[in-house]
Structure 1
C-alpha cells in the first residue's frame, strides 16, 4: 500500500473556489470510480495552497484508477478543463509515500 500526497497551488485568490470544486465535483467523481481519497487540506502557511491524499493498494490498482479517472469523458471534457483553469499546474507536486511499520495507516 502507498499514498499520494498531492500539493497544488490555486490561481491567486481562487483557493476557496478551488476547494468548493474539489469537494463538490472532483472528490465525489473520483470516489465514484473507486479512488480512495483519504484527506483534503488547505495550506495553513500559504494562502493559495491545497493538499490532498489518495491511497492505493498497489501499482496495478493505481494505474487502473488513474486510467478510469483521467481517461473518462467527463474528466476530459468537463472536470479537467475547470481544474486546469483554477490551478497553477507548474506548481503541482505529487509525492508517493509508504507508511512506516509504526504508522496507524498501514
Structure 2
C-alpha cells in the first residue's frame, strides 16, 4: 500500500492518498477489474455548497468526457463540510493517463485548480478494486 500526505493551500491542511490497486482477475468473468477512487473531501467552513456546485458543473463533466466515471458527490449527514465522491476507471492501466489528461489539461491548470483548491481544507483518496463488478452498471 502506498500512503502519502501532502499539504494543501494553507498550514493545517493535508491530502492523503492510499493505493491498494492491483490488476485483479475476477474468478467469475475472467477479466481485469475496474479500479475506483473513494475520495473524501473536507471543505472549508461555508464552502461545501459552492464547491459541490463547481465540481458538478465543471470538474465532473470534464472527467466524464475523458472517460472516467463519477458517482456523487455524496454530502455527509454528520457535518456540513464533508462529502464523498467516487471516480472509476476501466482498469489500473487507464487510471494514470486519464488523471494526467485532466490534471495537466488546460481547464484544470487554466483556472479550475485555482478555484477548487482554496475551498478545500483536506482530502483523502483510497484506490480500491471493483471486485463487486460495479463498472458495467455505473452511469457513464
Alignment TM-score, normalising by the size of structure 2: 0.67
Runs of 4+ residues deviating >6 angstroms:
none
2:73 aligned with 1:40: yes
Instruction: Count matched residues.
Output: 102
Partner-residue secondary structure (3-state), 1:92: strand
What CA distance in whole angstroms lies between the structure 2 residues aligned with 1:104 and 1:65?
Answer: 20
Task: Say whether residues 1:54 and 2:87 are aligned partners.
Answer: yes
Q: Which residue of 2 aligns with 1:105?
A: 134
Which one has a larger percent strand, Structure 1 or Structure 2? 2
Counterpart for residue 17 of structure 1:
50
Higher helix share: 1
1:68 counterpart residue number: 101
Name the CA shift for 1:59/1:35 in 2 (closer, same or farther; >3 Å): same
The answer for the alignment partner of 1:95 in structure 2 is 126
Distance of 1:38 and 1:19 partners within structure 2: 13
For structure 1, the residue ranges without an aligned partner over 5 or more in a row are none
The structure with higher relative contact order (CA 8 Å, sep 6+) is: 1
